Amino acid sequence: AVALATQLWRPVGAQDDDFEYFRCDACTATFFKINKTLIERYGRRASLPAFEFVEILEEICDTMFTKDEFGVKQYEGKKYLFGPGVTDHIPDKGFGQMGMGDYDKRLSAYCRMFTEEVGEDELHRKFVRDRLINGTALCLEPCSSAASGTGAVSTQPRRPRRRQPPAPVPPPAAPRQVQRPAPQPAPAPAPSPRVLPRAAGEAAPTAAPAQALEEAIALLPRLSTMQLRWLGEAVMSELALRAAAAGPSRPLAAATERAPTDEL
């Protein structure tokens, strides 16, 4: 910015030596614009990120020094800048015009130079602390003389500009937890049917009675004590009836078998 500000004055030659207070006026115009813009946009905000502050400074220096607002006044062979934030060094004297020359580009170059001389970090700190930029205090040295733009300029090295930090990479999404139903207990196995021993010589039951017997045995766990008693009495009664029915035939058969022995 320092080299650019110096080069902008070289092509026009000696006529630029006619400017009075150009460095002072460029400095006060710069910080007037910066202070006014920051207060209008961010005066009520609690915070202002540094990268956003730097972007505002760049916007001001690049776009807010136009020939619609700034012009040149001439008096007794000297030139004086006029516009927002510029002190009128010859009040009620001279005549002014706007649009002639490239003073708007020179103002833009000096805006960058002054902001870099003070430092973007320092300007940001001042605004956050005081909620304003005091251009009068910052321009004491440039305004200590009537030096024009061809006067000595600062040779401080240019400070690197801050840029907006890249957006943080969002963390990977956590794996979705799939809620599984609680395992159900396995059903208890059905009780195997009880097989009653068959008496000797008793015929095997047919398929239908065997199935009925299995179903009856399966029902035993569901019967009450009284019902089991009734069932037991019925079974004993049935067994007694069968034993009575089979009783007479068995002694008769035994007597028949013993008859030949008695005769001998």
Which pLDDT score is estimated for 153? 45
More confident of the two residues 206 and 88: 88
Domains in the chain: boundaries: 18-153
Which pLDDT score is estimated for 252? 46
pLDDT band of 23, cuts 50, 70, 90: very high
**pLDDT at residue 33 is higher than 80:** yes
Residue-wise pLDDT for 114-153, tens only, equals 999 999 999 999 999 999 999 999 999 999 888 765 444 4
3-state secondary structure the chain: CHHHHHHCCCCCHHHHHHEECHHHHHHHHHHHHHHHHHHHHHCCCCCCCHHHHHHHHHHHHHHCCCCCCCEEEEECCEEEEECCCCCCCCCCCCEEECCCCCHHHHHHHHHHHHHHHHCHHHHHHHHHHHCCCCHHHHCCCHHHCCCCCCCCCCCCCCCCCCCCCCCCCCCCCCCCCCCCCCCCCCCCCCCCCCCCCCCCCCCCCCHHHHHHHHHHHHHHHHCCHHHHHHHHHHHHHHHHHHHHHHCCHHHHHHHHHHHHHHHC
Its pTM stands at 0.52
Percent of the chain at pLDDT exceeding 70:
67
Residue-wise pLDDT for 176-227, tens only, equals 776 777 777 776 666 555 555 555 555 555 556 778 788 878 888 887 888 8
